[in-house]
Amino acid sequence: MSAPEEQKNVLLLPQTNQLLGLYSIIRSKDTHRSDFVFYSDRIIRLLVERGLDQLPVEKHTVTTPLNVDYEGVGFLGKICGVSIVRAGESMEQGLRDCCRSVRIGKILIQRDEETALPKLFYEKLPEDIADRYVFLLDPMLATGGSAILATDVLISRGVKQERILFLNLLTSPEGIRNYHAKFPNIKIITGGIDDKLDDKKRLVPGLGDFGDRYYCI
């Protein structure tokens, strides 16, 4: 995929030496769980802060302790996070670290054993979610099936595409295409775009199962 950072509504974190170093750690099969969690959390924080940069602001003047006016800005609107359980829950703390008392919703999607398609099993969302900007949280965007279903849930609750920001650590070209084919106005904020999916629909080069490495191994 050429020049992914220039694609409409795909925001790729700057590929600095620091970021590449963080990904080198979490991609390694030899990285222990404690280090995987620590360095993943650092990337998640960067993704959240990039997401916050996309929110609208208005001029807001404050007075400093020197009794001097400072012309700054204030955020417009309320936000909430919605994690796709369970791997997406790993990103909740990064959002809380940046936004005090932020509301968090959850959506549980699993593959139907008979159809092999994603199926909604559970949702718990803020009652006023239609009035909020929503950070949809899922570390990996592979085929996009779960993310599409989760986004359908948000839209059914009245959330506009323009108010959804989809944050993930890694994406695939296929996932981006599939997701934006249905939701072209939603910004995907990611730290990396992998080469492809393999025959088992895994990201390549990938980093393995994010949820297992973050919570279990």
Higher pLDDT: 7 or 87? It is: 87
Indicate whether 50 belongs to any domain. yes
Indicate whether 63 belongs to any domain. yes
CATH number at residue 50: 3.40.50.2020
Per-residue pLDDT averaged across 38-67, rounded? 97
User: Does residue 188 surpass a pLDDT of 70?
Assistant: yes
What residue type is assigned to position 32 of the chain? H
- Please report the pLDDT score of residue 7 as a whole number: 76
Torsion angle, alpha carbons of 50, 54, 56, 59, to 10: 50
**Radius of gyration, CA atoms only, the chain:** 18
Nearest to 180 by CA among 164, 157, 169: 164
Confidence of residue 122 (pLDDT cuts 50, 70, 90): very high
Work out the mean pLDDT of the chain and round it to a whole number. 93
| Sign of the CA dihedral running 203, 82, 165, 118 | positive
User: Does residue 111 surpass a pLDDT of 70?
Assistant: yes
Number of domains in the chain: 1
What is the pTM for the complete model shown? 0.92
Indicate whether 172 belongs to any domain. yes
Higher pLDDT: 184 or 7? It is: 184
- Please report the pLDDT score of residue 113 as a whole number: 64
In sequence order, the β-bridge partners of residue 189 are 11, 167
- Please report the pLDDT score of residue 217 as a whole number: 59
Per-residue pLDDT averaged across 152-167, rounded? 97
Indicate whether 3 belongs to any domain. no
Q: Which residue range forms the structural domain that includes residue 85?
A: 8-215
Indicate whether 2 belongs to any domain. no
Q: What tokens appear for 11 in the block?
A: 């925001």
User: Does residue 37 surpass a pLDDT of 50?
Assistant: yes
User: Does residue 169 surpass a pLDDT of 80?
Assistant: yes
- Please report the pLDDT score of residue 2 as a whole number: 37
**Which residues have a catalytic role annotated?**
111, 115, 209, 212
